Structure 1
Amino acid sequence: MKLIHICGPWPLCTNTFLLVSAAGHAVAIDPAARAQNYLDQLSQAGATLTDIFLTHGHYDHVGGVAELRRRTGAKVHLDLADAKGDQMYPLTPDLIDSPWPAGNSEYAVDELRFQIWHTPGHTPGGVVIGCGNQLFCGDTLFSGSCGRTDLEGGDTAALVRSLSMVAELPLPDETQVYPGHESFTTLGRERRSNPCLRGEWF
């Protein structure tokens, strides 16, 4: 698998990713940058985009989705709770080809095995996405902190429950954590020192 990091536009600088399988099929996670940025990387890798995985529906995580879907035919995956079609949650249900099912689930693209865990709190439809030794957390978990809950759809009690679940995921401490913003970290580091995962934040 090849992992490509693409930074979204300033000032929010969302962390977004392309994961490319050995067979040349790719998944975009939270494509917030211009669609052409991803298309250029796909061309360089000789890869075809098959899926777009969204950790949640906020505007700063979905900016490239509609054009990528139009130009590649990739299937868009998002919890429909975050498909509201407004300023904060711009995607509409008709753009979601494969909603994340209720509860936790699994998804495969060639040898890539994805685990989807629902983590409401920052938004109603938030998820974190595991693939091998990597965990893509969107705005649920940051290095040393967690997502805010004072925006539309935020729920502090739900986020506390979600973070408790993330702390107990059946993943080793060396799992690489890729938050939606700012620096990357490891799950072990966050388990040891992040007050949000230690139940000390709220």
Structure 2
Amino acid sequence: MFLEKVVAGVYGVNCYILGDIETKKCAVIDPGGACDEILHIVNKNGFNLEYIILTHGHADHIGAVEEIKEKTGANVLAHKEEQIVLSNSQNNLTYMMGGSIEIEADRYLSDGQTVELGNLKLQIIHTPGHTPGGMCIKVNDSLFAGDTLFRSSIGRTDLFGGDYDKIIESVNRLAKLDDNLKVFPGHGPASTIGTEKLNNPYIKS
């Protein structure tokens, strides 16, 4: 499995390029910016970009979606409950960043669904709370957690569609996964499920 991170934008969003080395199919997760850098990595490694996968629809995570889609033809994937965020610039906060991005996913996903990326199987886990359709993506020993779970913290819940009780449920659902699972969040450093169970104050012991 190929994995590379690009930190993009003023809010330092972690954009991940995930690829299957054998089939040369790849996806970019949460391209909040840095289109040229992301596509350079894709092309340098000989990948074909199949998917743009959004853990949620906030402005800092979707800034480069339209440009990457236009240049590659990749399909946009998001959870079905996130349509209300993606399609409205007020809800996704792009209006606050001097622009207006309103997009529709090419494919809306559900909890428990599996997306195939070459030989990789991407398991979709619906984790509402930060937004209604927030989701995590589990691939082998890695979990792409968006803004649901951070190292020793969780995503904020005071924006459109946020719900504190739901995000607490979501992170405690994630805590039931394997302790050795690597957690790659939407911002900040990586962690593991085991580390978060020990150190994250929002996870119930």
What TM-score, normalized by structure 1, do the two folds share?
A: 0.91
Query: Is the 1:14–1:181 Cα contact (8 Å) retained in structure 2?
Result: yes
Which residue of 2 is the match for residue 118 of structure 1? 126
* Contact kept in structure 1, 2:174 and 2:193, CA below 8 Å: no
**Over 4 Å off, 4+ runs:** none
Asked if the contact 1:59–1:87 (Cα under 8 Å) also holds between the matched residues in 2, the reply is no
Task: State the aligned residue count.
Answer: 194
Q: One-letter code of the match for 2:181?
A: T
Return the TM-score normalized by structure 2.
Answer: 0.90
- Deviations, residues 137-174 of structure 1 (Å, cap 9, x unaligned): 000000001001011211111111111211113xx211
Q: Is the 8 A contact 2:58 2:86 kept in 1?
A: no
* 1:32 counterpart residue number: 32
Q: Per the alignment, do residues 87 and 81 of structure 1 end up closer, same or farther by CA in structure 2, a change over 3 Å counting? A: closer
SS in 1 for 2:32: coil
Kindly report the root-mean-square deviation, in angstroms, between the aligned alpha carbons of the 2 structures: 1.4
Letter of the aligned partner of 2:109 in structure 1? W
Instruction: Describe how 1:116-195 pairs up with structure 2 within 5 A.
Output: 116-169=124-177, 172-195=178-201
Using the alignment, how far apart are the partners of 2:50 and 2:87 within structure 1? 24
CA distance in 2, matches of 1:98, 1:92: 15
Matched position secondary structure for 1:78: strand
Instruction: Establish whether residue 82 from structure 1 lines up as the match of residue 85 from structure 2.
Output: yes
Which amino acid is the alignment partner of residue 53 of structure 1? I
Structure 2 residue ranges without an equivalent (≥5): 95-100
Report the Cα distance in structure 2 between the residues aligned to 1:114 and 1:73, rounded to whole angstroms. 20
Match of 1:100 in 2: 109
- Deviation for aligned residue 1:92: 3.4
**Identity %, equivalent residues:** 36
Aligned equivalents of 1:86, 1:113: Cα separation in 2? 32
- 2:117 aligns with 109
What's the CA shift for 1:81? 3.7
- Displacement of 1:48 after TM fit? 1.1
Aligned equivalents of 2:194 and 2:152: distance in 1? 12
Deviations 1:112-160 (A, max 9, x none): 1111100110001100110000000000000001001011211111111
Q: Which runs of 5+ in 1 are unaligned?
A: none
